[in-house]
Amino acid sequence: MPTPYPKEFRRDVVAVARQGDQSRAQVARSFGISESCLARWLRLADREDGAGGSASTSRLDDAAVRELLKRTKQLEQENEILRRAAVTEAPMTRGKEVFVVGGGNSAGQAAVHLSSFAARVTVLVRGHSLAESMSDYLIHEMNVRPNISIEFGCQIVDGGGSRRLEWLEIENRASGSTRRADAAAVFILIGAVSATDWLPDEIATDQWGFVLTGRKAEESPLWTHDRVPYSFETSVPGVFAVGDVRQGSVKRVASAAGEGSVAIQSCHAFLSQHPDTGAAACVSDH
């Protein structure tokens, strides 16, 4: 598959961000990327610089920045940059063959939604069952929709087209055999990415950026206090994290809301033990 953002494009966007004329949010917005994506590119560039790499530090003049913005539009038109969502794109798939990659609830919901528009929706799953990863009601819903089919034990190994996606090559993981299939679109729902790049280093996260809380925060070297963290407390005393962003959370609305209600209790407990901190936090907020 083509890299969504060509290397020279990433390098030039990093150069614009490093110039510091605009905030990171403004730079990200101009080039149609998320702030966390820009933060990641900057970190990578810093690392490349440190390793004697070629990340650009030269200043781009106004003309070069205008060219880069034009290039952003071009990339979007060429469909090299893929940032589409199953919900908003579904009507565009009317009468077409589309694929959904993933075996979780998000993939199931996307497939069901797309099946109201597309001629056929094929769900590609690496494993051999949906039972552990998808809710029963979604499995049932997919089974009763005649234009949804599910292929287990497979993965996409290639794809292409002239100006937009036209075909995919799908590999059977057990036999290694491949087949080529017409495809107007592919929706990839293989897991969430945490948007925690902005957090200070004092808040411990795992390698994927999910925030450590409670016992996990205590096990982190960043927790240096002689007490056990409160439920949902992070490695910074008095800072709590709940819901999907928390490492090990059950990715459900009810559990996120439940965790929130428990964390409120922890906040009260923390403030009663540390009345000065609470007062100081209030003052610094204003």
Tell me which residues touch ligand FAD (CB under 6 A): 105-106, 109, 195, 198, 243-245, 251-254, 256
**Shortest Cβ distance from residue 176 to ligand FAD (Å)?**
32
**Shortest Cβ distance from residue 206 to ligand FAD (Å)?**
16
Rounded Cα gap, residues 103 and 153, in angstroms: 11
Which residue(s) pair with 149 in the sheet? 122
Q: Are 97 and 122 in contact (CB under 8 A)?
A: yes
**Shortest Cβ distance from residue 71 to ligand FAD (Å)?**
28
**Shortest Cβ distance from residue 251 to ligand FAD (Å)?**
4
Q: Which residues of 38-51 are buried (b: 16+ CB within 10 A; e: fewer)?
A: bbbbbeebeeeeee
By C-beta, is 106 or 115 nearer to ligand FAD?
106
**Shortest Cβ distance from residue 123 to ligand FAD (Å)?**
14
The C-alpha R_g of the chain, in whole angstroms, comes to: 23
Q: Are strands 97-101 and 120-124 parallel, antiparallel or unpaired?
A: parallel
By C-beta, is 105 or 178 nearer to ligand FAD?
105
**Shortest Cβ distance from residue 121 to ligand FAD (Å)?**
15
Q: What is the token pair recorded at 134?
A: 């998808």
Residue nearest to ligand FAD (CB): 243
Rounded Cα gap, residues 122 and 170, in angstroms: 11
By C-beta, is 180 or 252 nearer to ligand FAD?
252
By C-beta, is 250 or 279 nearer to ligand FAD?
250
Its sign, for the CA torsion 1, 198, 256, 113, is: negative
Q: Write phi, then psi, for 267 (nearest 5 degrees).
A: -60, -45
By C-beta, is 180 or 251 nearer to ligand FAD?
251
By C-beta, is 55 or 199 nearer to ligand FAD?
199
Other CB atoms within a 10 A radius of the CB of residue 234 amount to 26
